Every structure is written in structure tokens, then in C-alpha cells.
Amino acid sequence: KQEVTQIPAALSVPEGENLVLNCSFTDSAIYNLQWFRQDPGKGLTSLLLIQSSQREQTSGRLNASLDKSSGRSTLYIAASQPGDSATYLCAVRPQGGGATNKLIFGTGTLLAVQP
């Protein structure tokens, strides 16, 4: 059974620091991995999607990498800002789920960027 783990559960950094969030998954048979952002009391916003054949994706100050063979992904945030404060979740789409696009989520990392 696929399990997704995120470490650390919470992280506090001063503004301007570069930081890395980690995600690991137990079964490498995935179609893709996504990183989401969730603000307090809100829904999820997709940040980056990495297909299983890709190694990384970039969007602005965000860079996500995927090492499928080792079951790991990282989300790198450059020059962090207080507006980056949120919970970051990773999710994998396991193979074999058909066309239904089911995702397995990690429990998230709560990031606080201190001004």
C-alpha cells in the first residue's frame, strides 16, 4: 500500500532563507507527483506537477525534484518570503488506478517564514 511521508512536520525560517521540504513515498509505481499549497482554512492550490518521466519542474522561486527510484521528492523554495507561509502537501498518483486520478497525500509541512 502506497504511503507518503513528509518531513519535517513544521518548519520556521527567517525571511530570505532558501529552504527544502521533503516528501517520500513507498511505491515507485506512480504516474506523477504533485506539490500543493494550503493556506489556513482554505482549499489546496496546485504548485507543481512532475510526471514520472521527469526529474524536476520549476515555477518562479519554486523547484521540485523527483527521484522515483528512491521514492523521494523535494520542494526547494528560494529566497523565502512571509507570504510563503502555508502548509505544503505532496501527493502521488499511483499507477493502476485507472482514469479516476486518485491521489495519495502526505500529511504536510507547515511552513512559517518570519519577517
Partner 1 sequence: DVKVTQSSRYLVKRTGEKVFLECVQDMDHENMFWYRQDPGLGLRLIYFSYDVKMKEKGDIPEGYSVSREKKERFSLILESASTNQTSMYLCASPPAGLAGQETQYFGPGTRLLVL
The sign one gets for the Cα dihedral 38, 44, 48, 52 is positive
The residue among 58 and 81 lying less far from partner 1, judged by its C-beta, is: 58
**CB of residue 65 to partner 1, shortest distance in Å:** 16
**CB of residue 76 to partner 1, shortest distance in Å:** 20
**CB of residue 113 to partner 1, shortest distance in Å:** 21
The answer to whether the beta carbons of residues 23 and 87 sit under 8 Å apart is no
The residue among 14 and 41 lying less far from partner 1, judged by its C-beta, is: 41
Question: Which amino acid is residue 52, in one-letter code?
Answer: S
Task: Supply 22's cell numbers.
Answer: 521533503
Question: Which amino acid is residue 103, in one-letter code?
Answer: L
**CB of residue 115 to partner 1, shortest distance in Å:** 26
Residue ranges in contact with partner 1 by CB under 8 A: 4, 31-32, 34, 36, 41-46, 49, 51-53, 89, 91, 93, 95, 99-103, 105-108
SS3 115: coil
Other CB atoms closer than 10 Å to residue 34's CB: what's the count?
21
